[in-house]
Amino acid sequence: MRQLAEDTGAELAWATTWLHRANAEIGPRVGLPELKVVEFHDETGWKYPAVARYAWERPLAWFDDDFGLHPSRRDEFVHKRRHLTTALIHVDPGTGISVQHLSEARKAFSRNP
28-45: per-residue pLDDT in tens?
998 999 999 999 877 677
**Domain carrying residue 61:** 2-110
How many distinct structural domains can be found in the chain? 1
Do 49 and 40 touch, CB atoms closer than 8 A? yes
Ranges assigned E (strand) in the chain: 13-14, 36-37, 60-64, 86-90
DSSP state of 13: E
What pLDDT, in 10s, does the model give residues 36-86? 999 987 767 789 999 999 999 999 999 999 999 899 999 999 999 999 999
Instruction: Give the Cβ contact number of residue 33 at 10 Å.
Output: 9
Q: What is the DSSP string of 68-92?
A: TSSHHHHHHHHHHTTTS-EEEEE--
Do 108 and 83 touch, CB atoms closer than 8 A? no
